[in-house]
Amino acid sequence: MSTLSRSFRSSQLACSGLPGLAGLAALAGLLACSPSEDGPVFRPVEAPSGPQLPEPGAPGSPGGAMFEDFGDVGLTPGGSSGSGCATSLSGVARDPAGQLPLYNVVVYVPSEPLAPIQRGAHCETCAGDFSGRPIAAAVSNASGAFRLDISGVPARANIPLVIQAGSWRREVTVPRASDCADTVLPGELTRLPRNRAEGNLPHIAVMRAGSDALECLFTKIGVDPGEFTPGGEGGSIELYHSDLENAEEGTGLMQGATGEVELPRVEALFDDVERLRSFDMLLLSCEGGDDRYDPPDLTHRENLQRYANEGGRLFGGHFHNGLIDNRELPDDYPEFPEVVEFASGREDIEPQLFTAEVNTSFDKGKALADWLLEVGGSTRHGEIEINDSERTVTGTVAPTAVSWINATTSSSDGDDDDDDDDDSSSEPERAALYYGFPTPVGGPACGRMVFTDVHLASGSGDSGKEVFPSCSGELTPQQKALAFLLFDLANCVQPTESAAPPIPKIY
């Protein structure tokens, strides 16, 4: 039996001596009800089918301002300070818009005030420590569902509750919970924050460019418009722009309160490693060509790699895997460790709209496949429809790297000999479409890099050529996959990309 199962079983045994328990169990199906947006709903507790609790760690002595109701006692789930029978909170963790259910979100009851979240690039490994000395904790599954055992929590009114995914963190208050029952929380209580008035958001820099629109993902998941500012002006999401390749006049503009505002060129960010370090995450949209990397600006390359090695999270759109490609480097320049196998040349995957496979060989890959079905990003488990991608990488070679989504493509063999009568000859080839790895490669994991060859805006109506925001309202299947990967990118860094999510510690 797993530690999770043992913990929940302990809560069940605590009720074994209660009269009438069998009758309650028989009536559980009749009394259960659905979440209400108006407030908590109570129902008798059934054995959970989703995430359960780890065994408690060392008992703590919670206290401090705003936590007086918890008393000056040692609290552990299942202890005598609670009700003595299984009592829980359940719900669905969601994005800031309250629409997308989210996987691997930690939900917990703190016993002390929360410490501020450190901003910017820093090493944040998965030790399972969360601020506020949690006395009850759960992790959402691939449908976003969680069940939090609060049997050992002494309060049944005004219970503090934290919803956290990396640097996304929101603290709310559950008005009341009922003993020996499951309280189903409304969706408004279990979503991530939309703005800094509601909680903590990561500090993110996005490079706008002419051939994609990664910035639109954040409008679609519900981040408030007021959190977007030009680079250097202090928003949670700071926008820069590239004027290379397919950029147009609108690429360098955003709509402000009094009219259009210019965005700084991204070179101002790439030149300044200290400014780079101030961001938790950096997203680079496709520029429409490889001018930035052929030949590369060696100072920019060094600063961006240093940012990731020191704890930054970097997501590179199409062409930005040039950051880890050594083929255009001077002979005497240090190479990036080999993590992927590059294709011999760049080529579009045909047809433009095709079906790719989700890698379900590891826990989080299986969760992605399950989640895509849950949110309508797939119609068949383990498959996803992709619109517009190139093939530049065939697969990963470093043991710490993994490709989340792959495709088997047919492409021309490249033989242009006029004497060849079979112009249609082709052979299947592999393409890695979304892949990532912890950084530094070969050293203690601190940051992460993720890359894609997919044009995320294709088929969506989003544009990087027009004044921001130029975004449609709906997420396409490939944008939903990106949303999953970006929330995963925001989470703690593990030694390998394929490692299972950690279990939070409780006290």
Segment 336-370, tens digit of pLDDT: 999 999 998 888 999 999 999 999 999 999 999 99
Residues with Cβ < 8 Å from 494, sequence gap 6 or more? 125, 126, 438, 445, 502
- The answer to whether residue 400 is domain-embedded is yes
The phi, psi pair for 30, rounded to 5°, reads -75, -30
- The answer to whether residue 82 is domain-embedded is yes
Total number of domains in the chain = 2
- The answer to whether residue 505 is domain-embedded is no
Comparing C-alpha atoms, which of 474, 445, 440 is closest to residue 457? 474
User: Among 137, 164, 189, where does a domain finish?
Assistant: 189
Same domain, 212 and 125: no
Residues with Cβ < 8 Å from 385, sequence gap 6 or more? 353, 354, 355, 356, 378, 477, 478
Same domain, 257 and 117: no
- Could you list the residue range(s) of the whole structural domain that residue 104 is in? 3-189
Same domain, 375 and 229: yes
Same domain, 452 and 474: yes
Same domain, 153 and 211: no
Same domain, 287 and 343: yes
- The answer to whether residue 92 is domain-embedded is yes
Comparing C-alpha atoms, which of 48, 41, 87 is closest to residue 184? 41
CATH number at residue 17: 2.60.40.10
CATH number at residue 239: 3.40.50.880
User: Among 189, 222, 247, where does a domain finish?
Assistant: 189
- The answer to whether residue 281 is domain-embedded is yes
Output the tens digit of pLDDT for each of the chain's 507 residues.
433 333 333 333 333 333 343 333 333 333 333 344 445 554 444 433 433 333 333 333 333 334 554 533 333 333 335 667 899 999 999 999 999 999 999 999 999 999 999 999 999 878 888 999 999 999 999 999 999 999 999 889 999 999 999 999 999 999 999 999 999 999 999 999 999 999 999 999 999 999 999 999 999 999 999 999 999 999 999 999 999 999 999 999 999 989 999 999 999 999 999 999 999 999 999 999 999 999 999 999 999 999 999 999 999 999 999 999 999 999 999 999 999 999 988 889 999 999 999 999 999 999 999 999 999 999 999 999 999 999 999 999 999 999 999 999 765 443 334 444 444 445 678 999 999 999 999 999 999 999 999 999 999 999 999 999 999 989 999 999 999 999 999 999 999 998 888 889 999
Tell the burial category of 499 from Cβ atoms under 10 Å away from its Cβ (0-12, 13-18, 19+): middle
Same domain, 203 and 182: no
Q: Given phi > 0 = left and psi -120 to 50 = alpha, else beta, which region is 84?
A: left
Same domain, 355 and 468: yes
- pLDDT value of residue 501: 83
- The answer to whether residue 507 is domain-embedded is no
Inter-residue contact 502 to 137 (CB < 8 Å): no
Q: Given phi > 0 = left and psi -120 to 50 = alpha, else beta, which region is 78?
A: left
- pLDDT value of residue 499: 87
Same domain, 223 and 105: no
Inter-residue contact 133 to 75 (CB < 8 Å): no
CA gap 77, 11 in Å, rounded: 8
Give the global pTM. Answer: 0.83
Same domain, 409 and 294: yes
Sign of CA dihedral 185, 188, 194, 198: negative
Same domain, 261 and 325: yes
Same domain, 300 and 181: no
CA gap 205, 284 in Å, rounded: 9
User: Among 126, 160, 189, where does a domain finish?
Assistant: 189
- pLDDT value of residue 80: 37
- pLDDT value of residue 21: 35
- Token output for 31: 């009394």
What dihedral angle (degrees, nearest 10) is formed by the CA atoms of 262, 265, 269, 272? -110
CA gap 436, 417 in Å, rounded: 38
- The answer to whether residue 353 is domain-embedded is yes
CA gap 133, 59 in Å, rounded: 10
